[in-house]
Structure 1
Amino acid sequence: MAKTGPIIVLDPGKERTKGNEALFMNINAAKAVAGLVQSTLGPKGMDKMLINKMGQVSMTNDGVNILKDIGIEHPAAKMVVEVARSVESTAGDGTTSSVILSAALLDKAEKLVRKGIHPSAIVKGYRIAETKALELLENSAIDVAKGDRADILKKVAMTSITGKAPDVHKEFLADLCVKAAEIVEEDGFVDVRTKIIRVVELQRRIDESEVIEGIALNTGALSRKAPKRIENPKIALLDTEIIANKTKANSVMVVSSPEERQKIIDGERNDLTAIAKKIVDTGATAVFSTKVVRGPVLEYLEKHDVFVSRPMEEKDIENVSYATGAKIIRNPKEITENDLGSADLLERDTRNGGGKTYIRGGHNSTVATIVVRGETLQHADSVDTALDDALWVIKSVIEDGKIVAGGGASEMAVALGLSAYAPKAGGYDQRVISAYADALEELPKTLIRNGGLDVIDLSLALRAEHTKNKNAGINVFTGKITDMLEAGVVDPYRVKANTIKAATEAAIMILRIDDMLRATVTREIPDAPASHMAATYNGMAPPQMNERR
Structure 2
Amino acid sequence: MFPGRAPVLILSQNTKRESGKKVQLENINAGKQIADVIRTCLGPQAMLKMLMDPMGGIVMTNDGNAILREITVQHPAAKSMIEIARTQDEEVGDGTTSVIVLAGEMLAAAEQFLEQQMHPTVIIRQYRQALEDMIKVLEGPLSVPVDKNDKAALANVVKSCIGTKFISKWGDLAVNIALDAVNTVTLTENGRTEVDIKRYAKVEKIPGGSIEDSKILDGLMLNKDVTHPKMRRYIENPRIILLDCNLEYKKGESQTNVEISGETNFTRLLELEEEHVRRQCEEIIALKPDLVFTEKGVSDLAQHFLLKAGISAIRRVRKSDNNRIARACGATIVNRTEELRETDVGTKCGLFEVKKLGDEYFCFLVKCKDPKACTILLRGASKDILNETERNLQDALQVARNIMLTPRLVAGGGAIEMAVAQHLLQKATHGPYRALAHALEIIPRTLAQNCGANTIRTLTALRAKHASHTDTTTPCTWGIDGETGELVEQKAKGIWEPLSVKLQTYKTAVETAILLLRIDGIVSGSKKKGGKEPPTPAEMAQQQE
Distance 1:164 1:253 in 2: 68
Distance 2:378 2:128 in 1: 43
Q: 1:129 to 1:274 in 2, by over 3 A?
A: same
Deviations 1:293-324 (A, max 9, x none): 24111111122122212533332223324445
Equivalent residue number for residue 165 of structure 1: 166
Specify the code of the residue in structure 2 equivalent to 1:316. D
Equivalent residue number for residue 444 of structure 1: 444
Is the 2:324–2:374 Cα contact (8 Å) retained in structure 1? no
Q: CA deviation at 1:219?
A: 2.5
Distance 1:49 1:156 in 2: 28
Specify the code of the residue in structure 2 equivalent to 1:350. K
Is the 1:238–1:287 Cα contact (8 Å) retained in structure 2? no
Distance 2:256 2:335 in 1: 24
Q: CA deviation at 1:160?
A: 1.3
Equivalent residue number for residue 460 of structure 2: 460
Q: In the alignment, does 2:210 pair up with 1:205? A: yes
Is the 2:50–2:61 Cα contact (8 Å) retained in structure 1? yes
Equivalent residue number for residue 521 of structure 1: 527
Q: 1:475 to 1:524 in 2, by over 3 A?
A: closer
Q: For residue 523 of structure 2, give the secondary structure of its aligned residue in structure 1.
A: strand
Q: 1:356 to 1:15 in 2, by over 3 A?
A: same
Q: 1:456 to 1:371 in 2, by over 3 A?
A: same
**Aligned with residue 293 of structure 1, among 284, 288, 298:** 298
Equivalent residue number for residue 350 of structure 2: 345
The structure 1 segments of at least 4 consecutive aligned residues displaced by more than 6 Å after TM superposition are 252-257, 259-263
- Structure 1: state its 5+ residue gaps: 1-8, 526-549
Q: 1:10 to 1:396 in 2, by over 3 A?
A: same
**Aligned with residue 381 of structure 1, among 361, 381, 387:** 387
Is the 1:215–1:358 Cα contact (8 Å) retained in structure 2? yes
- Structure 2: state its 5+ residue gaps: 1-8, 470-475, 532-545
**Aligned with residue 358 of structure 1, among 365, 368, 387:** 365
Deviations 1:89-130 (A, max 9, x none): 332211211111111010110121112221111001111111
Deviations 1:342-387 (A, max 9, x none): 533341241313123225536x833333222323222222222111
Distance 2:404 2:312 in 1: 39
CA RMSD, Structure 1 to Structure 2 (Å): 2.8
Deviations 1:144-186 (A, max 9, x none): 1345x31111011111112323333111110121122223333
Distance 1:508 1:235 in 2: 55
Equivalent residue number for residue 485 of structure 1: 491
Structure 1 stretch 96-105 or stretch 158-167: which is displaced more? 158-167
Is the 1:239–1:328 Cα contact (8 Å) retained in structure 2? no
Is the 2:285–2:306 Cα contact (8 Å) retained in structure 1? yes
Q: CA deviation at 1:263?
A: 6.8
Distance 2:253 2:401 in 1: 54
**Aligned with residue 312 of structure 1, among 311, 317, 325:** 317
Distance 2:363 2:32 in 1: 47
TM-score (norm. length: structure 2):
0.85
Q: For residue 410 of structure 2, give the secondary structure of its aligned residue in structure 1.
A: strand
Q: CA deviation at 1:492?
A: 0.8
Equivalent residue number for residue 143 of structure 2: 141
Q: 1:260 to 1:497 in 2, by over 3 A?
A: closer
Q: In the alignment, does 2:103 pair up with 1:98? A: no
Distance 1:263 1:274 in 2: 16
Structure 1 stretch 240-249 or stretch 70-79: which is displaced more? 240-249
Equivalent residue number for residue 394 of structure 1: 400
**Aligned with residue 193 of structure 1, among 176, 182, 198:** 198
Specify the code of the residue in structure 1 equivalent to 2:507. K
Specify the code of the residue in structure 2 equivalent to 1:18. S
Distance 1:267 1:190 in 2: 48
Q: CA deviation at 1:491?
A: 0.7
Is the 1:407–1:474 Cα contact (8 Å) retained in structure 2? yes
Q: For residue 219 of structure 2, give the secondary structure of its aligned residue in structure 1.
A: strand
Deviations 1:437-475 (A, max 9, x none): 121011111112222333222222322333456211111
Q: For residue 166 of structure 1, give the secondary structure of its aligned residue in structure 2.
A: helix
Q: CA deviation at 1:506?
A: 0.3
Q: CA deviation at 1:417?
A: 2.2
Structure with the greater alpha carbon radius of gyration? 1
What is the aligned length?
Answer: 508
Q: In the alignment, does 2:480 pair up with 1:474? A: yes
